[in-house]
Every structure is written in C-alpha cells, then in structure tokens.
Amino acid sequence: MDLSLLIIVFYVLIMLHLLMLSFSPFIVSVDASRERTMDSNGVVNEAKKIVAELPGSNLDNEPLSKWIEGTQTPTAFDGSEVLPARTAEQCIQCCKKQNEIAVPSEQQSLPFVKNSMLWKMIESMEVFHRIPQNPHFKPLESYKESSREGLAIGYMVNFSSVVDKALSLQFDDPKSIMDDILETLVDLDRHGFDVRAVHNCITSLGSVKECQEKFRGQLEKISSQIVEKTLEVNKVDEEIDEINQQIRNLHEELSVARSAKKKKNREVASLQTKLQEVKESISSVKDDFEGLAGAPLENA
C-alpha cells in the first residue's frame, strides 16, 4: 500500500473528529449528548478498523490516536486562521452555477459495499450539498477489496479538503498551491468526482495570479530602471556641483581682477595728473625761454 494513501486515511480521521466537534454545540440534552458520544466512539472505532485493514497498518499509530482524541483549529496554508476573501466568494458562486447545470446521475455500481458508519456523516457535509458528487471509484478495482472502502472514504475527504483549500486561497498565496490543487483534481476526476466547478474556479484564479506575476515582473523591471536612472541623476548632480564650484571660483577670480583693474585705473589717473603738471611746467619753461631769447642785448 502506498504510504500516501495511508496518510489520506489518517487525514480522514482528523477531519471526521473535527466534524464531530463542530456538531457538539447543538446538543441540547444530556441523553442526546450521551448518544452523540456513543456515535462518535463508534465512528472512531470504525475508522480505526479501516486503517487496521490497510496494508502497512502495522506502523506506530499512537500519534494517530492522539490526533483523533485531540482538537484542532482550521488554519490557512501559512498557519494563520483562514479569513474569508473576495476570491472565495467568487469561487462559491462559480460552484453554485456549475451545480445548476450539472445534475448528478443515478447511483452507479461501486467496486465495494458501503458498510462503514462514516459514509452518512461524510455525505452530509456541506461541501457535498453545495457540489453533489457521485464518484464511480473504478480505479480502486486494482486494490484489494478489503481496502477499497477505506480508500474511497479517503478520496471523499480529500475532495472536501481540496474545496476548502480552494475557498481559503489568499491573493498573496504562491501559485504552486493552485498547481497542487489542480493536480489533486486530476486524480479525483479519474475516480469519477465532478471537479469542473472547482477546476474552473482555480483556473480563473490562476489566470489572475499569472497577471499578478506578470505585473510583479514589470514592477521589478521598472524599479530596477528607477534605481539605474537615480544613479545617473546623482552622477549629474555631482557634475553640477563641480560646475557650480568652478563658477564660484571664477566669480572670486573675477572679483580680484575687477579690484586690480580699479587699482590700475587709479594709478593711471594719478599718472595722467602728473603728466598734465609736467606738460604745464614744460610750457612755462618754454615761455621763459622765449621771453629771454626775445629780449634786447644790453651791456652789463
């Protein structure tokens, strides 16, 4: 017996125990409570019997018994409590529309006899009212007859689990979870389950997820371009700072040159004044010379 099939049956026991716990708040009398306890013990014993009949059931089942007797809270894939999301509501609507079209056929001949007490409880689960199922379980004919019913119960619970996973998907969940659900649906379809509603829902969500990944790729590309352009801007800013520094230096040099020019202009003006004075002195001396030269000669 494949170990994965044994794990499926273990999961059946866990789900059934959780289901029984969910019924307990509606028990309104002591007698009803006792009757429920007896039924629960019978269901658990029946489940243990099914596991015992499976090949490889000689494994240590002590952890399994602890799981059956314990309580657990449904959680999301990341370990947090599952919160309803818009996609889950859309998936429910998708399932309902599919069920309005797909009408289950009459009971088919199964490769085993339904003797287990678990069937009534499983078939009363909400998921099978929402999405009616009539699996044929033909592939189970290749297994030992004593194991077929237990495996069929495992597939029923597996279908319920995969629907819960589909309805619990969150926008940020990795696409690999959807791919895993689709692979499980293929196996369920092989056993006669009507998986069209869930498949269509997951396919639609997968398309949205692909768009998200596409946009995320564009986001990363644009972010990279922004970083690259920002570095270029910083480089240009450095060049501008260098040019501004050069401009400041030139302004200082210009100021020094202007001061030197003013000083030279003052020196030129002073020299021009002296030049004028010298010219006037020369003119005066010339006049004196001409005056002396034109004077009559006299004996001393």
Does any domain span residue 150?
A: no
- Amino acid identity of 169? L
In a domain, 231, yes or no: no
Interval 134-163 mean pLDDT: 94
- Predicted local distance difference test score (pLDDT) of residue 184: 94
Q: Does 84 fall in a domain?
A: no
Residue 15 pLDDT > 50, yes or no? yes
The pLDDT score that the predictor gives to residue 175 is 85
pLDDT of 157: 94
Residue with tokens 């290749």: 142
Q: Tell me, yes or no, whether 224 lies in a domain.
A: no
Task: For residue 81, give the 3-state DSSP assignment.
Answer: strand
pLDDT tens-digit readout, 174-191: 888 999 999 999 999 999
C-alpha–C-alpha distance, residues 197 and 192, integer Å: 14
Mean pLDDT of 96-124: 73
Higher pLDDT, 11 or 253: 253
15 belongs to a structural domain = yes
Dist. CA 260–CA 21, nearest whole Å: 101
Range of the domain at 7: 1-72
Share of the chain above pLDDT 90, in %: 51
Which residues, in sequence order, are CB contacts of 144 under 8 Å at separation 6+? 55
Contact between 52 and 116 (Cβ < 8 Å): no
> Is the pLDDT score of 29 beyond 90?
no
Does the structure show a pLDDT above 80 at 123? yes
Residue 261 lies in a domain: no
pLDDT of 202 reads 92
Q: How far apart are CA 20 and CA 37, in angstroms?
A: 9
- The reported pLDDT for the residue numbered 125 is 93
Per the domain annotation, does 208 fall within a domain?
A: no
Tell whether pTM > 0.85: no
Residue 37: which pLDDT band, with cuts at 50, 70 and 90? very low
Q: Is 5 helix (H, G, I), strand (E, B) or coil?
A: helix
pLDDT digits (tens, 9 = 90+) for 64-98: 333 333 333 334 434 444 433 445 555 555 555 55
* Residue 281 counted as domain residue: no
Select the more confidently predicted residue: 42 or 103. Answer: 42
The answer, yes or no, to whether residue 210 has pLDDT greater than 60, is yes
The residue-averaged pLDDT of 145-170 equals 93
Q: Given a cut of 90, is residue 28 above it in pLDDT?
A: no
Per-residue pLDDT, 8: 56
Number of domains in the chain: 1
